Amino acid sequence: MGPEEAIKGAAVAVFDLDGTLFRLNVDWEKVYERLSWISREYGHVGIFRSLVEAYLWSEKVYRAKERLVEAQAEMEEECLLDISMVPGGVKAARWRLSRSLPTAVLSLNSRNTLEKVLGHWGFYPIIGIENIESPKPDPQGLELILKAHGKGPGEAVFIGNSDIDRRCAGSAGVIFVHVDDIREEWFE
């Protein structure tokens, strides 16, 4: 099955946000640095190199995740006026939503950011970093989405832009389509 068939034929389509539907102009290196500074209050030494690294660390520390999410949400909020659409991803999502096909979002972004960017679109569910215990590539978020729709892994497609998204889909047994493989003409 090719990417077009996977997206059009899936009982549930799940999209990542940053780099898949929109490009957020967030300086992620500064986010990692700020999260690292917060983690020092909890005894962590070093600089996080990714959100996944920061949130995996926070799983082991009482109430650290809430502080990290709050800081991340603040920094994402600063960039919400400077975002751009990813044409293929947005076209695919709009096509699915216009046909009332189940369409969800799973992202490492904060729920605050997801709601502000996507709140009016009709995605269900919208799952941000604070809605799951373990971040992508852990399949927990995809499993929650499948459960919400009463579907199995073979009935879903995950559209993303990173190796983390690909690994998450693979761990959940869901077909992965890279957003760069989407062609706008599929949805005209």
- On whether both 62 and 98 belong to a single domain, the answer is no
Element (H, E) at 22: strand 22-24
The domain in which residue 92 lies consists of: 3-24+84-187
Q: Which of 127, 188, 177 is nearest to 13 (CA)?
A: 177
What is the mean pLDDT, run by run of 10 residues, along the chain of 188 residues? Answer: 92 97 95 96 93 93 92 94 94 96 96 92 94 94 97 97 97 97 92
- On whether both 91 and 130 belong to a single domain, the answer is yes
Looking at residue 157, its pLDDT comes to: 98
- On whether both 12 and 102 belong to a single domain, the answer is yes
Looking at residue 119, its pLDDT comes to: 85
Looking at residue 139, its pLDDT comes to: 97
Looking at residue 188, its pLDDT comes to: 83
- On whether both 111 and 161 belong to a single domain, the answer is yes
Looking at residue 31, its pLDDT comes to: 96
Looking at residue 24, its pLDDT comes to: 94
Looking at residue 62, its pLDDT comes to: 86
- On whether both 102 and 156 belong to a single domain, the answer is yes
Q: Which of 95, 73, 67 is nearest to 24 (CA)?
A: 73
Looking at residue 60, its pLDDT comes to: 87
